[in-house]
Structure 1
């Protein structure tokens, strides 16, 4: 298996690259930096024709690649429309055009997000993408656009794997990134600020650990997934309150989670002014009704999430903060 990973220098992409290398695959990682956490690094840009590769690299990649992972794109929930559409929409079109030039392509996997479902109404499964939903932010819409393009490319063997927030220690080493997504809340909670949540966060947030997510992508490549859609999340279904509590535990901090229900949106706006991070404000209520039986569509055996990955996230954040303070 000769795997090209587009966006393999990021948090999940790095874990996917390492999992593929452990499985014995030849791995190439394309990123704008050209650095690779495993295998060979290639400098390029998915937004450009021929992925921004040199002529020599493009010819070699075309000839040898058998499997591709599409794992690129901004992970910020507050990205603007320009960044989101250029990366997730234009980048996907460029990537799919390149896939059509690969004579030995056997399977491609697009790493999507469950947040592409936005504010979906009713119970959703792997079949649905557009349900008439509204989107909380441009990130959700960008992930929707990218998945839509991948689903519509019926001339290519592109399968879809959807994840919610992916947590755990950074496979690249160093301090976990708390600039984007759900981890934005961690420093606020650790500093003692309150977070306002409906039902005090007693609802699933569809998280998983980075190691099992990477193993699911590897399974999708090798099983293979075909043109199916899989959704993966921790089968234990930790709630949002569980996530915050466990991440804070290694710090000896009990997170201040305040009931947001009685005053609704006013409480959430007040919460933002008192410390609730902007990226979390629109996620203070249950996100959507996902049928948990979607897990059964993934062939067994399933990977087993690290039972301590939430606390391990907190420990990695604590240790990284200490190293930074001593530097």
Structure 2
């Protein structure tokens, strides 16, 4: 039977790169791409680029207008009938990945949207694998060693993003007895390890935006910075997912796609400062003071940093990735160290830091 993959989240950065990778690994596969109506024009452009890059012919790909927040994914009966008959693999990537997202919006997209995808998955006749993109940070405020086998440990959450991704994964894991499932939990995703390319400057890029504002001043450290910051390049996430989604050993497994050797927040901050500004920080601001200051929206907008980012500088959690490392080793897939991919990330930021499409507005 021909492999038919149904992918949500296209034309998002990770979904687009994953599609390209799978298309090359599986040259006879076909793809059904669920696209929100607001993204249809961009999706057509991305698909044209992908086909021109060699993932052709165009007939392998179908764009379907839909909405994960609507019942039946907002699809018509003809589309649903065809998909239920043909789809063999589902990749659910569509979500809101914003640490400052309001609760109601996060819940509607991340939880209700995932529930609708789950309902769709249960209706498929020939499903071979459902690959769901969660996040390592479903661990919330837990500290210490976090294992891939763990989920609900009574934790609280630092923001609505974490809380809703946790609730969504709980509902996905409830399918494990009935659905062939693989759950992917990435760390904090940065740009490509070789080119630095990324879709937007959020997450660790807020540090670069902050340092840009202070480049003429003596630069401070942010708190003690003892916590590990788990940064991974997007190409590692893509390579690992494209392998695990079709690997028999990954069936009914949960994987931390995290960096097995993360740097501390202080080391990470110092490395970014050196690569971006050519100098090291010389004094320290308490993280509590910075977090309190960022409660003031004018200051947030000036330094271009969301206050939710600061909590990760002091969050003492480490993500065990033993299962992922074991199952990816045979495929020759490994996560590079931050020192290997930080300079390309900084160089890409420098080249594109005025691009309005990449600058996430700070509210």
Q: 1:80 to 1:270 in 2, by over 3 A?
A: closer
SS at match of 1:72: coil
Q: Does 1:68 align with 2:93?
A: no
Q: Is the 8 A contact 1:189 1:256 kept in 2?
A: no
Partner of 1:229: 254
* Distance of 2:112 and 2:105 partners within structure 1: 10
Per-residue CA deviation, residues 130-167 of structure 1 (Å, 9 max, x unaligned), is 22212111001011011111111132112211111100
Measure how far apart 1:177 and its partner are.
0.8
Measure how far apart 1:284 and its partner are.
2.2
Q: Does 1:216 align with 2:218?
A: no
Q: Is the 8 A contact 1:121 1:131 kept in 2?
A: no
User: How does 1:112-151 map onto structure 2 within 5 Å?
Assistant: 112-151=134-173
Larger radius of gyration: 2
**Structure 2 unmatched runs, 5+:** 51-60, 357-363
Q: Does 1:313 align with 2:345?
A: yes
* Distance of 1:168 and 1:222 partners within structure 2: 24
Per-residue CA deviation, residues 246-278 of structure 1 (Å, 9 max, x unaligned), is 555554444648545xx5634542477674641
SS at match of 1:8: coil
Measure how far apart 1:289 and its partner are.
3.4
Partner of 2:35: 31
What is the TM-score normalised by the length of structure 2? 0.78
Q: Is the 8 A contact 1:176 1:316 kept in 2?
A: no
Per-residue CA deviation, residues 4-30 of structure 1 (Å, 9 max, x unaligned), is 111132222222112111212323321
Q: 1:163 to 1:57 in 2, by over 3 A?
A: same
Q: Is the 8 A contact 1:3 1:27 kept in 2?
A: yes
Q: 1:26 to 1:312 in 2, by over 3 A?
A: farther
SS at match of 2:33: strand
Q: Does 1:239 align with 2:264?
A: yes
User: How does 1:226-305 map onto structure 2 within 5 Å?
Assistant: 226-247=251-272, 251-254=276-279, 256=281, 259=284, 265-266=288-289, 268-270=291-293, 275=303, 277-301=306-330, 302-305=332-335
Partner of 1:89: 111
Deviates more, 1:243-252 or 1:84-93: 243-252
Q: Is the 8 A contact 2:140 2:158 kept in 1?
A: yes
SS at match of 2:156: coil
* Distance of 1:57 and 1:106 partners within structure 2: 20
Partner of 1:157: 180
Measure how far apart 1:323 and its partner are.
6.8
* Distance of 1:256 and 1:55 partners within structure 2: 59
* Distance of 2:145 and 2:275 partners within structure 1: 36
Q: Is the 8 A contact 1:230 1:297 kept in 2?
A: no
Per-residue CA deviation, residues 159-192 of structure 1 (Å, 9 max, x unaligned), is 2111111001499x976412x4332332112222
* Distance of 1:319 and 1:287 partners within structure 2: 33
What is the TM-score normalised by the length of structure 1? 0.85
**Structure 1 unmatched runs, 5+:** none
Partner of 1:203: 227
Q: Is the 8 A contact 1:190 1:255 kept in 2?
A: no
Q: 1:250 to 1:185 in 2, by over 3 A?
A: closer
Measure how far apart 1:48 and its partner are.
1.2
Q: 1:98 to 1:170 in 2, by over 3 A?
A: farther
Partner of 2:360: none
Q: Is the 8 A contact 1:118 1:136 kept in 2?
A: yes
Runs of 4+ in 1 over 6 A off after TM superposition: 271-274
* Distance of 1:254 and 1:306 partners within structure 2: 24
Q: 1:266 to 1:191 in 2, by over 3 A?
A: closer
